[in-house]
Structure 1
């Protein structure tokens, strides 16, 4: 699998040099009229001659090829495996955005996630066997009304302040920039997932039903929402940790705001990019929260239940800085965020992306607290500091851009007796801007002992990601 990653990377570079060599041999008159290969355009239909009423489509897919070092005691399709070669669809999405009147817009996003050869679809064997026919569902479905638009409807000039309100199944989230992350403009192979405080528990793939308001007050960009969390009803064990149980039916509240020191970002949708290849100078500092009463429950003594509020706070900084000669198109991207989570006593979540493994009941060795496959400690009551950095290398091709990156997360969970370090190192190979991306990445995770709650081993994972965006 390691050889496969190297071959893909070398092939991409070789292809680019060959293309540049062919263009250099063209006649001068052909070179003058040649269309910019980076200008792919967008899938947009204007509904009136003025062009202020329109229908826009978006398509994206992320295909993953992996080599996974499994946690001890892992079965894959019923067979013990220390290492697993894996292929799957991490995300495949279709978006529809419509400006029906100057004041009124609709946003829809649908698709599938996390389908592999063994997970994400049905169960059993046959036509709807393990991994087959993954569910296609709506991620976002909301309407939005402009109270004060970005641009004056009469003059077309930008307004210093703007306000929008909306309602539906939405992802105008609080807490941090990464909690509102664009999955089509990520710096690394994926987002770390702990950036979503209720992911697939009290939300649907980071979305909840509710009402939201967002906009700008000069250089301050903000978003706030009031939502109805998805229902949870897990039963805690006596003396055990808090678990997800919001049966009392309380609302959730969230918000995030960031101040923009240099170039301002346009937030037509909720998604904030984590990587624009440092094309413009950006420096944003933000903070946010997520809160819901009685979101979890514990049982300190038999038949005595206690409910606990869920409170999450985040503070972050995001910067993109062009570096050196402008013609070289070099640039630095840096993001750093601090999270404080409170889900109740000793709350802990474990998860593995596209996890192919299940526990082996016959295994007699040292088991990990995380369980089987590529499970890791995701989040819990405690603190997480996460940082990532990427650098666009000097331009050497009209088609290809290369951007090495590094991620680091330090997790200090109350339920564990030792902090854990997680890291990813890799490189992006961009073909035709950000419309096509190849990612080569290696990730390392610690494993915790079931009894001592301290680290006893580390495991790794190689990823080759192929991403297309239109």
Structure 2
């Protein structure tokens, strides 16, 4: 896989050189456009001459190629395997936005996630083979009403303040900027996932059903929601850790707000970018929360059950700083966030993206608390500090931009006896802006001993990600 990355990098550089050295001979009798020939603009259909009623489409695709060092005691497709090479569809999405009237809009997002040769299967999983026919489902489906629009309906001039109200299956989340992350404008190969406090537990791929408001008060951008979490009913063991059980059916409440010191961002959708290639000067400081009473449950003694709230707090800073002369298009992107999670006593959650492994029953060596495959400690009751930095290198091509990046996460979980650090290092290769991106990344994760709850090993994972956004 290392050789693959080297070959890939050389191929990209060669392609870039060949594109930059092509001479264009202009014919004076022909009209020449200065517009980038690969700039497709928006996939938008206006429904009236004024253009305030429209239908817009978006398509995105992320394909992963990986080399994974599996956790000890991993079996893949029933056979022991220390190293796994795979390919998968991390995300494939179709977005439809419709402005039905100047006041009223609809937002739909559909797609699939996490399909590999062995995971993500739908109707094809079973005796005919795992992983086939991944389910295609709605991620977002909500209606939205403009109470105070961004632009005055009569004059078209911007309003200093705006307010929108909506309802449905949505991702206008609380807690942090990264809890509202755009998956098409990420700095690294992926988001760390612990930024979604209920991912695939009490939500549907980071979405819940409910009502929300969002808008701006001058430079303060805000969003708040009241939702009905998806039902969970795990039964805790006697004397064990808290597990997800919200059978009492309480509502959840969340919110996030950030103050914008320099250039302001437009939040037509809920998704906040983590990377705009430092095109503009940005400095935002934010904070948010999520709370759900009776979200988890413990059983301190036989048939005695105690419910616990889920209370999550986040505070973050996001900055993009153009650097040097403008024609070099250099820039620094920085993001840092602190999370405090409380799900109840010793709550702990493991996860591995597109995990190819299952436990090997014949393995007799030291096993990891995380389990098989590429599982890691995702989150739990405790604290996480996460930071990332990226730098756009000076412009050397009209085709390609290169942006090295680094991620670091420090996790201090109450159920573990040692805090642990996780990191990712890599580079983005952008072709004509952010419509096409190739990511080369190496990730390192810790492994904890089952008995001592301390670190005993570290494993790695190489990723080559191919992303298209239209």
* TM, length-normalised to structure 2: 0.98
In the TM superposition, what are the counterparts of 1:255-294 in structure 2 within 5 Å? 255-294=255-294
Moved more, 297-306 or 279-288: 297-306
Q: 1:347 matched to which residue of 2? A: 347
Alignment of 1:210-359 (within 5 A): 210-359=210-359
| Aligned mates of 2:149, 2:164 — CA distance in 1 | 7
Secondary structure of the 1:16 match is: helix
Distance of 2:148 and 2:328 partners within structure 1: 40
1:102 is aligned to 2:102: yes
Structure 1 residue 27, shift from structure 2 partner: 4.3
Q: Aligned partners of 2:271 and 2:201: how far apart in 1?
A: 21
1:38 positional shift: 5.0
Aligned to 1:124: 126
Deviations 1:297-319 (A, max 9, x none): 00111111110010000000000
Q: State the Cα distance separating 1:39 from its structure 2 match.
A: 2.0
Q: C-alpha separation between the residues in 2 aligned to 1:337 and 1:31?
A: 50
Q: Distance in 2 between matches of 1:430 and 1:113?
A: 23
Q: What do you get for the CA RMSD once the two structures are aligned?
A: 1.1
Q: How far is 1:4 from its partner?
A: 1.2
**Aligned residue runs from structure 1 range 23-42, under 5 A:** 24=23, 26-27=25-26, 33=33, 35-42=35-42
- Secondary structure of the equivalent of 2:291? strand
Q: Is the aligned partner of 1:181 residue 2:181? A: yes
Question: Paired residues, what number?
Answer: 467
Is the Cα–Cα contact under 8 Å of residues 38 and 433 in structure 1 kept in the other structure? no
Answer yes or no: is the 8 Å Cα contact 1:63–1:88 preserved in 2: yes
Instruction: Provide the C-alpha distance between the structure 2 equivalents of 1:27 and 1:153, rounded to a whole number of angstroms.
Output: 45
Distance across 2 between alignment mates of 1:144 and 1:352: 35
Structure 2: state its 5+ residue gaps: none
CA distance in 2, matches of 1:379, 1:21: 49
**Contact 1:221 1:257 survives alignment (8 Å):** yes
Which residue is 2:73 aligned to? 73
Q: Is the 8 A contact 2:299 2:306 kept in 1?
A: yes
Secondary structure of 2:263's match?
coil
Who is 2:206 aligned against?
206
What's the TM-score, normalizing by structure 1? 0.98
Which residue number in structure 2 is paired with residue 151 of structure 1? 151
Taking the aligned partners of 2:227 and 2:24, their CA distance within structure 1 comes to 60
Separation of aligned partners in 2, 1:219 and 1:35 = 33
Deviation string 1:16-64 (CA, Å, 9 cap, x unpaired) is 1101111x35347589545413522110000000001000000000000
Q: After the TM superposition, which of the residue ranges 29-38 and 326-335 deviates more from structure 2?
A: 29-38
SS of 2:59's partner is strand
Instruction: Measure, in 2, the Cα distance between the counterparts of 1:255 and 1:323.
Output: 33
Aligned counterpart, 1:361: 361
Q: Secondary structure at the match of 1:411?
A: strand
Whole-angstrom distance in 1 between the partners of 2:70 and 2:37: 42
CA apart distance, 1:6: 1.8
Structure 1 residue 409 and structure 2 residue 409: aligned? yes
**1: CA distance, partners of 2:11 / 2:462:** 18
Per-residue CA shift, 1:444-469, capped at 9, x if unaligned?
00000000000000000000000000
CA contact (8 A) 1:238 1:302 kept: yes
1:38 and 1:399 in contact (8 A); partners too: no
Distance across 1 between alignment mates of 2:458 and 2:101: 55
Give the drift of 1:10: 1.7
Say whether the 8 Å CA contact 2:26–2:32 is kept in structure 1.
no
CA distance in 1, matches of 2:79, 2:325: 55
How far is 1:12 from its partner? 1.4
Q: Distance in 1 between matches of 2:154 and 2:188?
A: 42
In the alignment, which residue of structure 2 is the partner of 1:53?
A: 53
Distance 1:358 1:200 in 2: 19
Q: Could you tell me which residue of structure 2 aligns to residue 435 of structure 1?
A: 435
